[in-house]
Chains A and B, each alone.
Chain A
Amino acid sequence: MSDPIIKIQNMNKWFGDFQVLKNINLEVEANKKIVVCGPSGSGKSTLIRCINRLEEHQEGDIIVDGNELSEKTKDIEKIRAEVGMVFQQFNLFPHLSILDNCTLAPIWVKKMPKKEAQELALDQLKKVQIDDQANKFPGQLSGGQQQRCAIARALCMQPKIMLFDEPTSALDPEMIKEVLDAMVSLAKGGMTMIVVTHEMGFAKEVADEVIFMDEGMIIEKADTKEFFANPKSDRTKLFLSQIL
């Protein structure tokens, strides 16, 4: 078995006096798909934001692809370039066209030639089926199309890991499916994924492991089948009974 691509040990994080993450231990192997669920305010988003250091942790170690994340980390940009992220609010750049959204980082961060970057971007946009919208601006697209563009934008950096922070929570029910479809096909392509979501159908379909969090702690971590069929803690049972 290979070394885990993400390794979190005894990690604690505070916002001021409030401890959001308590003693987190987590290992993710390459090509695995992890779904993180739990009630709101349980620290799920903060956890995955720590993995590409959009949030700083105060105690413990986070090791991503062999690099430890800390204040001393010099090339945090290099690590972030390896870790794609998709946000709840899409966060496309509204002043750039869809194509430019996708080519910006490859051209300026990875120093890719413009032509090559555009071909790559169109290829990724095609995979999420919005290559026909490439010259429009984000404001002209529906929420589902914007979120698929955000996925394509992250993939254009050819990351090793993809983080999804509630990618469907801001979408109309009709559009959730098209985004989930894109994520499912990405998962089947073998990407390492950590997904914070309330879509239990998605978890059942693609996840290797499910993590349940509450009040900043990992309450339960189990194989997907085991998690749904035979949850151990009472808190998990309660949560599942409400959400399913």
Chain B
Amino acid sequence: MIQTINFLKPNRDNIKNYSIIGSFLVLVSLIDVISNAFLKINLTSFLPGSLTTLFPLIIGLIGLNMMRIDYSGNKTLDLLNKNINTNNFNALLTLLILFSIIKALPQSLSWMILDATISGDSKDACTGTGACWTYIKVWFRRFMYGMYPNEFHWRINTAFILVIALGFVGYFMKENLKKYLALYYVIIYPVIAYLVIYYLISGGSFGLQWVETGAWGGLSLTFIVSFFCLIFCFPLGMIFALGRRSNLPAIKYISICYIEFWRGVPLITVLFMSSVMFPMFLPEDFFMDKLVRVIIAITLFEAAYCAEVIRGGLQSLPRGQYDAAKSLGMGYWKMHIFVILPQALKLVIPGIANTFLALVKDTPLIFVVGLAELAGMLALAKTNPKWLGFAMEGYIFASIVFWIICYAMSKYSYNLEAKYKTER
């Protein structure tokens, strides 16, 4: 069969006719599969049994074979040949993947959209064969705010808007205050954000009712945990990265021990320790909220990863940069603040983005100590006797939410990379 296909080889003179016939054949094979999948019509029912199934594959292969040429001058055709049609085997894979996607589309479409239910407000509304989005709709507030009382949700919203607004202060800072930018983001901003979240979301003063952290949950808890961990683990990681490269043995070995310890233990044990073991070591009258302990635990854990990423950036700078800074009379801190770190941090943006994404996706682990953020709420909701059997919808919803958050973060990191690109 290969022989006969090879007989259909085009050359540069007749490629035009060959590519037209070839694309026509591929089109026929696609139409056959599409009509089969979507309309349930078998166009080739006149063919005997197994040949009907193989028909689109054979036709498609012949078509792609007729279009295959080393160089045609036609941009689209060359791109096609270079990427998905380099030889018969790759052409076969291309067709198989394409057909599988087409075959899978009608089912998933009908499950997710066409046969899905979104109306009503109880499980009884979901009678169709498709997804039950009513479940997401009914539980939406829980997924967003956890067990936080409904009438106080405005407090969470206000707190978040305030914290985000404060985050933009840096953009509007006056030129002569710009040098305090790092100070603002590393120290002042987290403190203000903490106070805002404490007084608004926890309440307890200003006439706001106290809501204990055990009731917090859902996506808002994901945000709170991620926010504080991100904002603290970066400067901490920076300190340990510098510490590991220090000439002072004490600082160097403390940093190495810290990094190797936290990188060596699984996050889940760290969380257990923070919530179960840690309080045992504290004096009895000393109380630290579980959420705070968890945030500290994740921060310390991720700081070790940040430290190693940043150290990679520090090491990739040529020695000449250090020499030049020193020769101008700069001491350790000036050299690092003005010369080394600005360059190193720019280099590690992709690595840091990676660590941060992993951190956000690690937050569901706090469920093991009884804090139910988005994925935790899902786990609670799916075991609710009134709503058994909708785990799938819940997890699809959570995947989409997490994907949006993470994609936004990675987009932002690309922007940062482009913004700080000065050389070349």
User: Using a CB–CB distance below 8 Å, which chain A residues touch chain B?
Assistant: 49, 52, 54, 77-78, 80-85, 87, 89, 91-95, 104-105, 108-110, 137-139, 150, 153-154, 157, 163
Contact = CB atoms under 8 A, between A and B. Distances in A.
Nearest to B338: A104
Contacts of A78: 329
Given A87-B324, A137-B423, A95 B342 contact: yes
Given A93-B339, A138-B423, A109 B318 contact: no
Contact of A80 (B318, B327, B342): B327
B327 A92 contact: no
Interface in B294-335: 318, 320-321, 323-331, 334
Contacts of A52: 326-327
A62 to B, nearest CB: 15
19 contacts: A52-B326, A77-B329, A77-B330, A77-B331, A81-B328, A87-B320, A89-B318, A93-B339, A94-B422, A95-B420, A95-B422, A95-B423, A105-B328, A108-B330, A109-B329, A109-B334, A137-B423, A139-B424, A154-B327
A54 B326 CA distance: 8
B338 A108 contact: yes
B123 interface: no
A87 B320 CA distance: 8
Chain A interface, >50% SS class: mixed
Interface residues of B, number: 22
Contact of B327 (A83, A89, A95, A138): A83
Interface string B400-424: 0000000000000000000010111
B343 A157 contact: no
Interface string B324-358: 11111111001000110011001000000000000
Contacts of A163: 327
Contact of A93 (B324, B326, B327, B424): B324
Contacts of B325: 93
Nearest to A92: B324
A85 B328 CA distance: 8
Given A108-B338, A109-B334, A91 B329 contact: no
Contacts of A153: 328
A81 B346 CA distance: 28
Contacts of A94: 343, 422-423
A154 B328 contact: yes
Given A91-B321, A91-B324, A108-B338, A139 B422 contact: yes
A75 to B, nearest CB: 9
A83 B343 CA distance: 25
Nearest to B346: A95
A88 to B, nearest CB: 9
Contacts of B343: 93-95
A104 B324 contact: no
Given A89-B320, A91-B320, A110-B329, 14 more contacts: A77-B330, A77-B331, A81-B328, A93-B321, A94-B422, A95-B343, A104-B328, A105-B329, A108-B338, A137-B423, A150-B324, A154-B327, A154-B328, A163-B327
